[in-house]
Amino acid sequence: MLKIAITKGRIEKQVCQLLQENGFDMDPIFHKDRELLIETKDGLSMIFAKANDVLTFLEHGIVDVGFVGKDTLMDSDFHDYYEMYDLNIGKCYFAVAAYPDYRTKVLKRRKRIASKYTKVAKDYFTSLQEDVEIIKLEGSVELGPVVGLSDAIVDIVETGSTLQANGLEVIEKICDISTKMIVNKVSLKFKRDEILNLMDGLKGEKEKC
């Protein structure tokens, strides 16, 4: 059995859809109720978890393969895996966003940056050699500038409509984000064929092999 952890929600739907389209029987997944572990006829044992937990399961060798957004990978301190395949879905980007006057405002104190992704924010401003104060928010990060908690945010932008609705704009794009297939390094040694077969399934090349 190839053990897989998938980020619950949108990534789960998109990955399972792709596999279904390419010959894997995903019916047990589409018809699941509240079960968290499902085994398919194709020899896949799938669990559905929060993004950070997908990494935890992979790190501890509980699963061989994980499907998770690049945002989660970038914000984690765990990097001991192979990033095998970019699914090119769930596409968005990290950006610094703020009110337009952020560009010209001169501050006599450290800039305050709100983010759910504090490591990404810290790494970005460190790369600019800027010493900023990072403030963690769990969601609706745009509230940072709106309520005056922060001067800017580091957040995910997909359509840009949340920024626009709150009078904010992208100051600087940091990097692109999409869904990645990651693989436990030991698993690749021992389950190479199953892992490559799954990857071919995602690429739509399963039948050719």
Angle at Cα 194 formed by Cα 191 and Cα 195, nearest 5°? 80
User: Should residue 161 be labelled a site residue for ligand PRP when binding is judged by CB under 6 A?
Assistant: yes
Residue nearest to ligand PRP (CB): 139
Among 21, 25, 35, 158, binds ligand PRP (CB under 6 A): 158
β-pair type (44-49, 92-98): unpaired
User: Should residue 127 be labelled a site residue for ligand PRP when binding is judged by CB under 6 A?
Assistant: no
Q: Write down the least CB distance from residue 8 to ligand PRP, Å.
A: 13
User: Should residue 159 be labelled a site residue for ligand PRP when binding is judged by CB under 6 A?
Assistant: yes
Q: Which helix (H) or strand (E) holds 74?
A: helix 70-74
Residue 146 CB burial class (10 angstroms; 0-12, 13-18, ≥19): middle
User: Should residue 156 be labelled a site residue for ligand PRP when binding is judged by CB under 6 A?
Assistant: yes
- Which of residues 126 and 140 has its CB atom nearest to ligand PRP in the complex? 140
- Which of residues 27 and 158 has its CB atom nearest to ligand PRP in the complex? 158
β-pair type (2-7, 44-49): parallel
Contact residues toward ligand PRP (CB under 6 A) are: 116, 139-142, 155-162
